Amino acid sequence: MVTKDLHIECNDQEVYYVEARVSDNLSSFLAKANDQWIHKLLPFDPNSMEALSETYVVMMQVNFFDCGGIAISICPSHKLIDGHTLVKFLKAWAATARGSSEEVYPSFVAPSLFVQNPLLPKRSNMLFPMDKQGKYITRRPVFNSLGLGMLKAKATSASSGTDQLTLELLNEQPTAAGAAKARHGRSSNGLRNVR
């Protein structure tokens, strides 16, 4: 439990973990996904003003779809876990799930170096103000093979090198993963952010 902003009182019951079965296929879920559907995959209600960071250090929900697909939602307390630490944890979790014997030794120093600004609200919920009807627009691009082919054709005819670079990166990701597996005998469990 997080108390008085900088103290974490550990009783080994502060990780909320739940598994949920989704009576749908992942592909049909993605085709109709909107904010209300996505909120069902979260381990908490994003519209709630409840200060979850004072209740749990980490909240996780593993969603199992009928087709065998999974979606994992993780909501950490930013007083304990920063973005870098979360990525390290996810990589270690994925490696452990694959049976890797590699040990990871995390370092939790970032929150002590980057202390929360005391001028910010203590119980702020970043999702709540954005979730009001009509206040924002959410766009989710979904590309099928025809759409990707059209994008690739447009990129090869474009004069800008930036568009071509992005599509080349997208095309090279599966190739790079296969090469890494052939070279090192294992696949990469890294996160990739292509812009």
Residue 80 burial by Cβ neighbours in a 10 Å radius (0-12, 13-18, 19+): middle
Residue 77 has pLDDT above 80, yes or no: no
pLDDT value, residue 33: 67
Alpha helices, H only, 76-144: 83-97, 110-113, 127-130
Q: How would residue 84 be classed by pLDDT, with cut points 50, 70 and 90?
A: confident
């070279």: which residue's tokens?
183
Alpha-carbon separation of residue 26 from 35, 57, 88, 187 (angstroms):
16, 29, 26, 24
In sequence order, what are the residues at sequence separation of 6 or more whose Cβ sits closer than 8 angstroms to the Cβ of residue 152? 167, 171
Task: For residue range 127-159, list pLDDT tens digits in order.
Answer: 545 455 555 556 666 677 888 888 788 877 765
pLDDT value, residue 156: 77
Q: How far apart are CA 71 and CA 25, in angstroms?
A: 11
Q: How would residue 12 be classed by pLDDT, with cut points 50, 70 and 90?
A: low
- Domains of the chain, by residue range, sit at 2-79+116-141, 143-195
Return mean pLDDT, the chain: 70
């090279």: which residue's tokens?
172
Alpha-carbon separation of residue 19 from 22, 65, 72, 76, 97 (angstroms):
10, 11, 9, 17, 16
Residue with the larger pLDDT of the pair 54 and 147: 147
Q: How would residue 194 be classed by pLDDT, with cut points 50, 70 and 90?
A: very low
